[in-house]
Chain A
């Protein structure tokens, strides 16, 4: 087995941890590489990861049903003191030369958006029984050699080699609405510090705001309500075979594939526990319990979908729709509680004025 030994790979490996969700683990490991020990849960919350997306795309055999925000990476990088190079939709040869410059020449870890169907090692790890279109997977490029990029994944500390051609194919594919081809981020911290309480409370408030005010009928609570309304009607236009596909895909994205279990609610619950301590707000700890309950309920719902897919799905739909209606009410209550707790906090909280030390440094750390 070839092992990559460069200063970046070594530095990255020192703080690298295995996590439950791709993007938040990737972000936590990049932060750690720069000396900011935040952990996955805090990264998920600061990146306003809580959401609900519901899309039907004509070209896909299944619906996209997912409980995390697709803007987690840019939102976290905006919430923390980072200077970010963000690129998308460039020509493939430009992407390769830029990645080479950033990773090999400047020793910077680069977050890349990938399609999981172009990653053989991830397919093997996930052992999915069916094809799942998902081009929102995030990993970190930490090594660059002729013909091969070295990728850090969320579920293992061992770096994965990926041929440049395969990397380009994975970066170029896109299925989710508005996702961008060849998108990558190279962040560098402008100061190394823990997030401030007002930043943590602010991120939670913005997340609650986005969840409640979700746009159109695809995102946030409106998206969840659309999903609940549609589920009951699916048997009218999908046969059992199609329902099986849709249900299995939903089980994967709601529970099995990098969600931390329970449609990302367990991750958010852990973030709230940490936020309660960092911000000194006990109410957030209570709310963390509510989100842990939601995680359990989503897990049950996904288990119900799984059982339905194994049998005759149409017969299970009414019971699933009832369970989902309960989830909608619980999600609504939790999001509104989060909104009111954090709204009060961010308006009462003092802003810190401590200035970062001037380092005199002339380039990225």
Chain B
């Protein structure tokens, strides 16, 4: 699950900064990471900003910014990191890596004007470094970018409540909405190897989340459901290498995921007949 591993680690580190020991897969579930994105410009097999959405759903204040030119925002970043001591999460496309979403967590000020950073990309994985401002600018290039500062509330909304409603929400949505759209895109040949791997990574994260949820929510049946989701992720990875993958998606993988979603809704709900 190379494509998502760095996102999960960054999410975990970001929550860790605010003394919340949430694993990456748990943050994935809290932020509704399993939500598909269907766009004219392209489709995503997961919701890319799941960590920020998890913060929002837990009652944190997420201050989002946009800068047309990378250098233009460094003044504000300096104030956040050095004066207010908040971590800054940046989504950037680094120079020379077109098409590769890249995230950077500026955790705190390092030595002599440098920034302690965690940075990661789908291909590069994750690394920790201390970067001077000039290196930082070189890394993010001169493109437009989104960045965010997260501020904690006095009291956080109970994580288990958010987890349950987030999981329910995405599971309710998939069979009737996402699955037909994904099946249609599979029929047009839009399912690339990359999409299979992304779907595989998302399913693995979902599996990790359900395994945590089984104990957090005291619903042991979620454990085996997590294993079933992990198998689904493996099936996506295997399907990536097949020539008939469009048919595999439409006839096998999507119906399997829909069924898992229905089971998840049944396990999480407590509506009495």
Q: Separation in Å of the B256 CB from the closest CB of chain A?
A: 15
Contact of A350 among B165, B177, B184, B271 (CB under 8 A): B271
Complex Cα–Cα for A295 and B239 (A): 60
> In the complex, which residues of chain A have a beta carbon less than 8 angstroms from the beta carbon of B63?
178
Mark contacts of A178-196 with chain B using CB atoms, 8 A cut-off: 1 yes-contact digit, 0 otherwise: 1010000000001100000
Residues of chain B touching chain A, judged by Cβ–Cβ distance below 8 Å, are 38-40, 53, 59, 61, 63-66, 68, 144, 151, 153-155, 157-158, 161, 164-165, 168-169, 172-173, 175-181, 183-184, 258, 262, 265-266, 268-272
Q: Separation in Å of the B168 CB from the closest CB of chain A?
A: 6
Q: Separation in Å of the B250 CB from the closest CB of chain A?
A: 12
Contact of B164 among A215, A351, A357, A361 (CB under 8 A): A351
| Chain A interface main SS type | loop
Q: Given that A178-B63, A202-B165 are known contacts, is A355 also in contact with B176, CB under 8 Å in the complex?
A: yes
Q: Separation in Å of the A224 CB from the closest CB of chain B?
A: 16
Complex Cα–Cα for A361 and B59 (A): 35
Interface flag for A353 (CB, 8 Å): yes
Does A209 contact B180, Cβ atoms closer than 8 Å? no
**Would you give 10 A-B contacts (Cβ < 8 Å), ordered by A?**
A178-B65, A190-B176, A190-B177, A350-B269, A351-B165, A354-B271, A355-B262, A356-B173, A356-B175, A359-B177
- Count class of interface residues, chain A: 35 or more
Complex Cα–Cα for A230 and B258 (A): 56
> In the complex, which residues of chain B have a beta carbon less than 8 angstroms from the beta carbon of A359?
176-177, 180
Chain A residue at smallest Cβ distance from B168: A351
> In the complex, which residues of chain A have a beta carbon less than 8 angstroms from the beta carbon of B177?
83, 190-191, 356, 359
Does A213 contact B155, Cβ atoms closer than 8 Å? yes
> In the complex, which residues of chain B have a beta carbon less than 8 angstroms from the beta carbon of A215?
61, 151, 153
Complex Cα–Cα for A80 and B15 (A): 26
Complex Cα–Cα for A346 and B262 (A): 23
Contact of A362 among B59, B180, B265, B271 (CB under 8 A): B180
Interface flag for A130 (CB, 8 Å): no
Does B266 contact A353, Cβ atoms closer than 8 Å? yes
Interface residues of A in 317-365 (CB under 8 A from B): 346-347, 350-363
> In the complex, which residues of chain B have a beta carbon less than 8 angstroms from the beta carbon of A191?
172-173, 176-177
Does A89 contact B68, Cβ atoms closer than 8 Å? yes
Contact of A198 among B68, B165, B172, B184 (CB under 8 A): B165
Does B161 contact A346, Cβ atoms closer than 8 Å? yes
> In the complex, which residues of chain A have a beta carbon less than 8 angstroms from the beta carbon of B173?
81, 190-191, 356
